[in-house]
């Protein structure tokens, strides 16, 4: 039976589980075309999910402060999932479904590349609506207009819901995307954000003022948690300019393996590259001991000489005096679609468990493999377009 919005408007865990299981079964139905999703989860149900989530997300600032009880609660931090529905459901099986004692922070990049971004993001929204305090959805660089037009999510919506309904839902998606918070502080000592560190407002290319020491050549001035708390979430397409600079940096930046402070990220053409020295200064100045970020899978890391390997889904990138910066990537055997003649990565993926007993600042990664075989499907984007270095 097609999903229907609960009469009382209350989304329960049972409702989300039923939706997940019918979406999953639909992907394995040999007779079902992608268009069949509109029967499993009708357009009005999808629209109501977007609408209910939008109301909640509008209340959240760019930096969400999570203060879980220090006993008996785990917080699971999930990295990029990129439309790999079956792997996402496996992760939720392994970690346990969201609940009052099992919190989740999803660190962006729900959509694009994989064939089931529509389903995966809908389920993430459903868990958010079901348990708004316990489930936090953060924005990734793919939750924007540019990436979703190039890497498949927009086309996937149009194929699955038809042009008219698909376009209406895509407009709702963009409204939701630009209300997603940029970062979450978990407990007192841990910060979760998608890409990485960011410049101070007006930190431009860093001219030394009278009070500030002159930064290194081309260095940017490092931002602080307070800047993030009051930042604009960046609009439909954070472009690195003006008020959108912090959002763009958070979504697009990468760590590097030498100490160069904070500089422009020429590799991606947006965001920053930040060295271990910048990480240490940021941890020290903001009273943190752990930063968890995502944004780089095995393909992105392949060309980055000196950076830790991410084929298990987890890497410690900076281990410095005041703490650590780690990458968590949650899409196994990524990307789902590869160019002819390319070799598959067959990477494992991970999520990270934080517990109150260790102050929510000791990352315990749990690694897992992809669900195989994947149901057959076609990509919704041109797999010959650009690599992860651009996106």
Active site residues: 142
List, as one string, the DSSP characters of 136-196: EE---TTSSHHHHHHSSHHHHHHHHH-HHHHHHHHHHHHHHHTTS-SEEEETTTEEEESS-
CA–CA separation, 145 and 337 (whole Å): 21
| Burial degree of 5 (CB within 10 A; 0-12, 13-18, 19+) | middle
Q: How many CB atoms lie within 10 A of CB 33?
A: 9
CA–CA separation, 154 and 168 (whole Å): 11
| Residue 80 DSSP label | B
CA–CA separation, 249 and 220 (whole Å): 11
CA–CA separation, 141 and 178 (whole Å): 11
DSSP-based helix, strand, coil % in the chain, nearest 5: 35, 15, 50
| Burial degree of 355 (CB within 10 A; 0-12, 13-18, 19+) | middle
Q: How far is CA 26 from the centre of its chain?
A: 25
Q: How many CB atoms lie within 10 A of CB 56?
A: 17
CA–CA separation, 191 and 213 (whole Å): 27
């Amino acid at each position: 039976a097609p999903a229907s919005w609960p009469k009382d408007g209350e989304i329960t865990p049972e409702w989300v589980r039923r939706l997940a299981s019918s979406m999953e079964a639909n992907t394995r139905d040999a007779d079902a075309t992608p268009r069949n999703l509109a029967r499993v989860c009708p357009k009005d149900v999808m629209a109501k999910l977007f609408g209910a989530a939008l109301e909640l997300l509008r209340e959240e600032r760019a930096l969400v402060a999570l203060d879980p009880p220090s006993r008996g609660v785990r917080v699971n931090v999930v990295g990029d999932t990129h439309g790999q529905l079956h792997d996402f459901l496996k992760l939720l099986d392994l970690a346990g479904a969201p609940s009052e004692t099992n919190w989740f922070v999803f660190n962006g990049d729900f959509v694009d590349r994989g064939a089931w971004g529509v389903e995966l993001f809908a389920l993430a929204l459903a868990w958010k609506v079901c348990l708004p305090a316990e489930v936090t959805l953060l924005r990734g660089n793919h939750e924007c207009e540019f990436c979703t037009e190039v890497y498949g999510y927009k086309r996937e919506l149009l194929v699955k819901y038809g042009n008219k309904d698909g376009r209406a839902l895509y407009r709702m998606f963009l409204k939701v995307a630009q209300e997603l918070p940029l970062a979450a502080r978990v407990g007192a000592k841990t910060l979760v954000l998608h890409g990485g560190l960011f410049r101070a407002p007006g930190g431009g290319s860093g001219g030394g003022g009278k009070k500030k020491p002159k930064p290194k050549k081309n260095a940017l001035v490092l931002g602080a948690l307070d800047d993030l708390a009051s930042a604009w979430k960046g609009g439909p397409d954070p472009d690195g300019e003006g008020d959108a600079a912090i959002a763009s940096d958070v979504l697009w930046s990468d760590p590097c393996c030498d100490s160069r402070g904070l500089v422009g990220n020429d590799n991606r053409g947006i965001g920053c590259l930040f060295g271990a020295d910048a990480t240490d200064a940021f941890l020290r100045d903001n009273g943190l001991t752990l930063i968890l970020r995502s944004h780089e899978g095995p393909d992105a890391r392949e060309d980055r000489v000196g950076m830790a390997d991410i084929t298990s889904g987890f890497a410690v990138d900076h281990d410095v005096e005041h703490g650590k910066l780690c990458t968590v990537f949650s899409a196994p055997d990524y990307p789902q679609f590869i160019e002819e003649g390319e070799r598959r990565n067959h990477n494992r993926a991970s999520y990270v468990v934080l517990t109150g007993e260790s102050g929510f600042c000791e990352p315990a990664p749990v690694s897992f493999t992809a669900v195989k075989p994947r149901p057959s499907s076609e990509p919704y984007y041109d797999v010959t377009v650009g690599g992860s270095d651009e996106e």
